[in-house]
Homo-oligomer: A and B are copies of this chain.
Amino acid sequence: MSAWLAEAPNRNMLWARLFVDELARGGLREVVIAPGSRSTPLVFAFAECPAITVYSLLDERGAAFFALGLAQAADRPVAILCTSGTAAANFLPAVVEAHYGRIPLLVLTADRSHELRDSGANQTVDQVRLFGTHALWSVDVALPEADPPAVLLRSLRTLAARALAAADGMPKGAVHLNFPFRKPLEPVAEAMSPAAIPLGPENGAPSIRVLRAAQTPSEAQIARLAEVLQAAERPAVVCGPRCPDGDFPAVVRALAERAGAALFADVLSGVRAGDSGLAGYDTVLAGKPVLQAPDAVIQFGAPPTSQALTDYLNAASGPRLTVTADGVWQDPDHRTTDWLWADPTELCRVVTVRLAAREPSVWQTAHRRAAQAARKALAEVRRGHFFDGGAVAAVIEALPEGAQIFAASSLTIRNLDQFAALDRPVRVIGNRGASGIDGTVSSAFGLAAAHPNAPTALITGDLALYHDMNGLIAGHRLGLKLIIVVINNNGGGIFRRLPVAKFDPPFEELFVTPHGLTFEAAAGQFGLVYRRPGDEAELRAALAEALAELRSVLIEVITDSSADLAVRRNVIARSIARAATLD
């Protein structure tokens, strides 16, 4: 690549190539580009760089969410690039999600040069620190020069290395680099007299590395966690969304087992997959059971999706320990008594060894039986009713080992958390940082891009699908396959769970917002196969067919949110009745 750098035709291209070269050396593998003119030098540099795959998408909002899905599924930083103006503003929703979801995202915006800023020039807006507190780091990059000093050229390599390190740091998140360019933006030749161009190591290694320490648990942390678990009679281990992957799921299960703890594993935690015994607690706890409250809580990951679990934990007395490697303060009920900032996997491993063996725990057994009762109640009710929760469960059951599932926010993720027993290793991902319903389709296609050979499904409600309908373009445009299951209950069914449901008007019109849309036409416009099953058997058939299909598929399940809520209550009531029988 040295010739590529040494022979850059003009200052803009030199800037762009140096920066992109270091990104490639640093491990960046994907960039998502929305078309525009001011970004031309970076577009060319990315297109010319063989190590980086370029995805081209037309709506910046969706493009950024596509990158989020890709970054989450691939577990590495992904870059997004757009031109100047409101294009950059359309990145904000995904940048906010990257911030709270701790997803590494490199946000590259092209900008006008300084003489055009705040001057009334076309498509020129104030992009400096445009993302405010939602970017971990923000840089207004130096304008390219024809005779740059050596330190300025070196700083472009630093910029790339540092941006990657910051985005993939502790915590992870979005980094914003704003690149001003002056015309000509194309790779036309100009006379230049740069100082020595830093070409980087010949073997393609990074010019600058960032080597980090292990977050080894301290003796004080180990002793505190062991002491709390040992002393507790009713310990609870809670794994919220986005727990570490790797060995963590097995290790935290072993810890809970050794400690005689009740284990609550969120559907987004990564800990539930492979153990269908872990599903059902939301149903149990929503029924206000006679299960005693815990007397110690150990919390990993983000706050759990389940409101019933949250309420249950809030009834607990005793210590609450929250374990996190990156020190992000996630404790909305302000109940954490001890923060343990260390590698969660290592901490679990060491403490498990240290804990004394314990008698089989009545407490643990009571929780397991109650969850089992909830799963049986669901199976019973599904035989007689086709409802949103059953549809969600059916989708999960149909997917093979290794599948990826993107869960939309709002009712979908709650249904998954309540009803999805994951008896095989599948990965469930959602935008649970800010829990928006925006960018859903695009994020799901990002998963498909990360692992094109893994079956990938999106489960979504109608509002989330509508919100990012133009994200459907990714299937045909990028040759990606996604199975989309939309549970269409004609509006915001989740509001029926809230107290506001008793106040109509304006409840139906301004909260539920029924729209009457179905999505067959959208499937047609974007070249997706479309199916509308009328019961669970038809849904299973449609899913089997979709798995064998080469194109993306949109499966629309029409439900009634009032009826679904009644069925949900039925499942809860039956699970309480069953649990009582078991006792």
Contact = CB atoms under 8 A, between A and B. Distances in A.
A98 to B, nearest CB: 11
A200 interface: no
A460 interface: no
Interface string A22-56: 00000000000101010010011001000000101
Nearest to A519: B525
Interface string A490-526: 0010010011101101100111110111111110111
Contact of A59 (B120, B466, B519): B466
- Count chain B CB atoms within 10 A of each CB in A59, A125, A132, A524 and give the residue with the most: A125
Contacts of A44: 503, 506
Interface residues of A, number: 91
A342 to B, nearest CB: 18
B120 A330 contact: yes
Given A132-B132, A509-B56, A436 B85 contact: yes
A316 interface: no
Interface stretch (A181-189, A271-279, A379-387, A419-427): A181-189
Given A186-B503, A495-B37, A434 B85 contact: yes
A127 to B, nearest CB: 10
Nearest to A117: B332
A119 B435 contact: no
A248 B425 CA distance: 70
Given A58-B515, A93-B90, A97-B86, A506 B126 contact: no
Contact of A500 (B185, B463, B510, B525): B185
A302 interface: yes
A492 B35 contact: yes
A334 interface: yes
A121 interface: yes
A303 interface: yes
A510 B495 CA distance: 42
A122 B433 CA distance: 8
Interface stretch (A285-293, A345-353, A467-475): A467-475
Given A85-B436, A120-B329, A187 B503 contact: yes
A180 to B, nearest CB: 14
A476 B466 CA distance: 15
Contacts of A124: 332, 434
A531 interface: no
A527 B141 CA distance: 47
B524 A435 contact: no
A89 B44 CA distance: 30
A133 interface: yes
A568 B302 CA distance: 58
A156 to B, nearest CB: 22
A477 B186 contact: no
Contacts of A129: 132
Interface string A450-469: 00000000000001001101
Interface in A418-449: 434-436, 438
A118 interface: yes
A567 B61 CA distance: 34
A499 B186 contact: yes
Interface in A59-116: 59-61, 85-87, 89-90, 92-93, 95-97, 99-100, 115-116
Interface string A184-198: 111110000000000
Interface string A301-322: 0110000000000000000000
A397 interface: no
A519 B469 CA distance: 13
A95 B187 CA distance: 34
Contacts of A121: 303, 332
B517 A186 contact: no
A247 interface: no
Interface in A133-181: 133-134
Contacts of A228: none
A130 interface: yes
Contact of A186 (B40, B334, B502): B502
Given A33-B510, A35-B492, A519-B525, 8 more contacts: A37-B500, A47-B505, A85-B434, A96-B125, A118-B329, A120-B328, A129-B132, A525-B525
Sorted nearest first, the 9 A-B pairs with minimum C-beta distance are A120-B330, A86-B436, A121-B332, A521-B525, A47-B506, A89-B93, A521-B521, A86-B93, A89-B92
Interface of A: 33, 35, 37, 40, 43-44, 47, 54, 56, 58-61, 85-87, 89-90, 92-93, 95-97, 99-100, 115-116, 118-126, 129-130, 132-134, 184-188, 302-303, 328-332, 334, 434-436, 438, 463, 466-467, 469-470, 473, 476-477, 492, 495, 498-500, 502-503, 505-506, 509-513, 515-522, 524-526
15 contacts: A35-B463, A35-B492, A35-B511, A35-B513, A37-B495, A40-B500, A43-B506, A43-B511, A85-B96, A96-B125, A126-B132, A129-B132, A185-B499, A521-B522, A521-B524
